[in-house]
Amino acid sequence: MVLSLLLLFLILPHGALSAPLPKSTQEMLKKLKLDAAILSDIDRELQVPREWVDRARKEGKLRVFSTLDPPQAEILFRPFKERHPFIAMEYSRASHEDRAVRTLIAYKNKRIVTDVLTGIGGSFFMYKEAQALEDLRNLPNWKNNPEGTSDPEGLWVGMHMRHWCMAYNTRLVQKGDLPKKWEDLLTNSKWRNGNLALGNRPQLWALLLWKAKGEKWTKDFLVQLFNEVQPQLRREGMNAMVELTAAGEFHANIPAAEYRIYQKVLDGAPVGYNCPEPVPVAVSEMSILKGAPNLHASRLFVNWFLSKEGQIAQYVSDFAPPVHKDLQRREFLPFAEEILGKQSVFRDPAIELELQPKLLEFWDDLWLRGGGRRRGR
């Protein structure tokens, strides 16, 4: 009793120097069993020009498009809402096509359907062409992101790390069959007969193989993959693919991100996560539409998101590994044992512009010719 009081004395002055953390933040830390010290400099991190806050007050509902489930978004937004109760938020989840392409079409039609947008991926160059994005380099927390995890011209910031590997059904696949290297997929007959499924997102993994292994290697690999292994070519989204793997529709699917698999494992689904070398690593992008009516609220939000509190909140909501350079820790990385210690290859913005179009053309051809038809059982 006395000891705890003493402890309190010690902690209290420390805590009295900075404002108390929002309740939701405290709960988050408790859940993760983290020390509050991790957020000791959060106030400094969240300092923004007074003008932003004032103007945000006058703006309308802040709209965010992303891929989180709404309940997850709720969890994510809670600390931000506590800090800025005057900002009303509207969240929508949409598939990539709807999110990225439609938004751009609407933008060109002078309709701004959202303020904050995430995951525009392959459509980024169209946005750039249309000059549809705000420059985010004026955000104080811009500097939190490591080199290469944001657009050099400030048009997007990385939100979180993503490791795009393979999800597999633990009941159907034995540990021994899991590929250690990508080329193992070609040699192990267990992946034939449609047991493997590919999603239509080559830029998340094949692009990185191209960077790591070169054009020829990658092209040969893909050709063999499509023609000999003949995986199921699925048009479903990434989450659906994992669900199907869990259900046994196929034994494994590529690519799959660690955070999703982790969620499913917690749900009790019979899925596992495996990373062949080299491990493809990418970031997802977050942007603000140029001319967004709720610009300042957006800035406040994105800035907060890039802070430690925002990044931890993100991890709590959907287990996405933070991109913040001071949060690259094991406890924020699902399946850390699969990822750490292996050769990885990172998707930097440069290769996107340079290599991606070539890859996509090659891939499209293979994909459409593959027709998705399953040959043989």
Partner 1 sequence: MDTAARLQLWPHGLFFLVLFLVMAPLLFLVLGSFSTARLPGDFSLSTMGVANYFKVYSDPGTYELLTNTVIYVAGSVALGISLAFSLAWLVERTNMPGKIWVYAGVPMTLAVPGMLQAMAWVLLLSPRIGMVNRILKDLFGPETPPINIYSLGGMIFLEGLRLVPTAFLMLVPLLRSMDPALEEAAAISGARPISAARKITFRLLAPGLVAVMIYQAMTALEVFEIPGILGLPAGIYVFSTKIYAILRSATFLPVYGQANALAMVYLVLAVVTTYFYSRMISRAERYTIITGKGYRPRQLDLRGWRYPALGLALLFLFLAVVLPFLVFLYTSFLPYLQAPSLAALSGLTLKNYRLLIEYGEVGRALTNTLVMVLVTATATTLLSFFVSLVVVRSSFWGRRLLDQLAFMPHAIPGIVMGIAFFWLFLKLDFLPLYGTIWAMSIGFTVSFLSYGTRSMNAALLQIHKELEEAAYVSGAAPRRMMWRIFFPLMLPTLAGVWIWVILHAVRVAGIPLMLYEGPSNQVLAILIWNMWDEGYVGAVAAIGNLLMISLLLLTVLVRVAGFRRHAVQLGGA
Q: How many CB atoms lie within 10 A of CB 244?
A: 18
Angle at 186 (CA atoms; ends 185, 190), nearest 5 degrees: 65
The answer to the question of residue 90 lying near partner 1 (CB under 8 A) is: yes
Closest distance to partner 1 from the beta carbon of 282 (Å): 15
Q: Which one of 1, 17, 70, 147 is in contact with partner 1 (CB under 8 A)?
A: 70
- Touching partner 1, residues 109-168 (CB under 8 A): 109-111, 113-114, 121-123, 126
Residue whose CB is less far from partner 1, 39 or 233: 233
Q: Which one of 10, 105, 350, 353 is in contact with partner 1 (CB under 8 A)?
A: 105
Q: What is the CA radius of gyration of the chain?
A: 22
Residue whose CB is less far from partner 1, 153 or 364: 364
Q: Which stretch binds partner 1 (CB under 8 A): 139-147, 220-228, 262-270, 335-343?
A: 262-270
The answer to the question of residue 91 lying near partner 1 (CB under 8 A) is: yes
Closest distance to partner 1 from the beta carbon of 23 (Å): 20
Residue whose CB is less far from partner 1, 15 or 293: 293
Size of interface with partner 1, in residues (CB under 8 A): 66
Sign of CA dihedral 31, 32, 33, 35: negative
Number of residues in the chain:
377
List beta partners, residue 162: 282
**What is the DSSP code string of 283-316?**
EEEEEEBTT-TTHHHHHHHHHHHHSHHHHHHHHH
Residues 6+ apart with CB under 8 A from 229: 185, 186, 191, 192, 196
- HSE on the CB side for 17, CA within 13 Å? 10
The answer to the question of residue 377 lying near partner 1 (CB under 8 A) is: yes
- Residue whose token pair is 């494992």: 265
Residue whose CB is less far from partner 1, 330 or 373: 373
Q: Which two tokens stand for residue 137?
A: 């380099």
Binding region for partner 1 (CB under 8 A) = 65, 69-71, 74, 90-98, 100-106, 108-111, 113-114, 121-123, 126, 200, 202, 233-244, 246-250, 264, 267-269, 360-361, 363-364, 367-368, 370-374, 377
